[in-house]
Amino acid sequence: MVEKVNNYDERNATGQDFVEDINTYNKNKYQVRFSNFPNFTGHKLNMNVLNLYCESITIPDISISILHSMYMHEDQKHPNPIGDRELQTITMTFQVDENQKNWYAFYKWMYFMRHGQTCGKESLIGEELLRFDCIDTIEVLNCNNRGEIISKMKFHHCILNNISSMDLNFQTAEIAKFTVTFEVENIDLDLLTDEE
């Protein structure tokens, strides 16, 4: 049975706080930020628990399949133009924040998707589809040595499809971590952006 977030529809009313300082945990030249988050927690979600606790992201490989044809007993190879189909998944590792809010946010998102609960987004014809339970864009920002953004890799329509197990080790000072995996529909790279 799917539990309700509240007695009233709070799927998009939970709010998000966007901040200027993105991913201050990561001191190298990369930053990660989310355009939005399907919030099913029933509470206001501060985006800091996502942006500031992202430890790493794995950029997927991209490949193309090869078609074969025969001409005069010789094998000819042809790249198969598949467009944005069959893109690989991206994985992100997070440190668990003190109140486990970031892990809980991903868990509730996965829980409601598994039970067919949509986030409230509608298509142009007014349909609420489960495929709209997504992050519209995950941006990986590449900065130069002065901290200025010089490029953005953008992953569009990112759908959560896995949350890893989380090890809680007692009597140690280790920080708990978890990894999430997303299916993506499109990847863009913007070079030398001067909008920020």
CA distance 195 to 23: 19
Q: Are residues 62 and 88 in contact, defined by beta-carbon separation less than 8 angstroms?
A: yes
**Cα distance between residue 49 and residue 53, in whole Å:** 6
End-to-end CA gap in the chain? 45
Kindly give, in sequence order, each residue whose CB lies less than 8 Å from that of residue 40, ignoring residues fewer than 6 positions away.
5, 11, 105, 108, 109, 111, 112, 117, 119
Q: What is the pLDDT of residue 24?
A: 47
> In this predicted structure, what is the pLDDT of residue 61?
79
What is the DSSP track for 159-185? EEEEE------TTS-PPPEEEEEEE-S
* Residue 148, number of CB atoms within 10 A of its CB: 10
Going from the first residue of the chain to its last (196 residues), give the mean pLDDT of each consecutive group of 10, the final group possibly shorter. Answer: 46 45 54 88 85 84 82 85 76 88 92 85 81 88 79 90 86 84 88 58
Tell me the domain boundaries of the chain. 16-59+83-191
Hey, CA dihedral for 35, 39, 44, 49, is it positive or negative?
A: negative
Arch. (CATH architecture) of 16-59+83-191: Roll (2.30)
pLDDT reported for residue 21: 40
pLDDT value for 13: 44
The single residue listed with the structure tokens 């978890």 is 178
Q: What is the CA radius of gyration of the chain?
A: 20
Entry pTM = 0.72
Helix (H, G, I), strand (E, B) or coil at 20: coil
153 vs 167: CA distance, rounded Å: 30
What pLDDT sits at residue 18?
44
**What pLDDT was estimated at residue 180?**
94
* Cβ neighbour number for residue 29 with a 10 Å cutoff: 13
**The predicted structure's pLDDT at residue 53:** 86
